[in-house]
């Protein structure tokens, strides 16, 4: 996986395959106020170690383009994505092949 400058991400994003989500116009800053304030204050890279999802990383947040990469364990997964408002968000559903995913209580910011 390359960053916007064409340089490989180091260390490489974990997983056998990658799903990239690119959003435009998008930013992790609220530009409707002056000065702009962060609307996302979470990590830009984290490893949830789920049955199918190994790692997530924000690889771009520049000039109204935001991109995240999801590292998954297996090739051939069929993921779905939906856009919502109130609050604005993208939800990506990655199937776990019948294995229940056990996670901690979610912690939302922004």
pLDDT digits (tens, 9 = 90+) for 71-94: 998 888 888 889 888 877 889 998
31 band by pLDDT with thresholds 50, 70 and 90:
confident
Q: Tell me, rounded to whole angstroms, the distance of Cα 87 from its chain centroid.
A: 16
Give the Cα separation of 51 and 48 in Å (integer): 9
Instruction: Please check whether residue 2 is in contact with residue 60, taking contact to mean a CB–CB distance below 8 angstroms.
Output: no
Taking the domains of the chain in order of start, what are their residue ranges? 17-93
Phi, psi of 60 (to 5 degrees): -155, 140
Q: What is the mean pLDDT of residues 29-51?
A: 89
């Amino acid at each position: 996986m390359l960053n916007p400058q064409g340089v490989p991400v180091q260390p490489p994003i974990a997983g056998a395959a990658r799903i990239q989500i690119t959003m435009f116009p998008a930013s992790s800053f609220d530009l409707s106020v002056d000065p702009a304030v962060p609307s996302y204050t979470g990590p830009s890279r984290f490893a949830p170690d789920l049955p199918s999802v190994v790692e997530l990383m924000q690889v771009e947040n520049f000039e109204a383009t935001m991109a995240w990469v999801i590292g998954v364990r297996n090739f051939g997964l069929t993921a779905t994505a939906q856009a919502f408002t109130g609050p604005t968000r993208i939800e990506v559903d990655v199937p776990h092949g019948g294995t229940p995913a056990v996670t901690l209580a979610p912690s939302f910011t922004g």
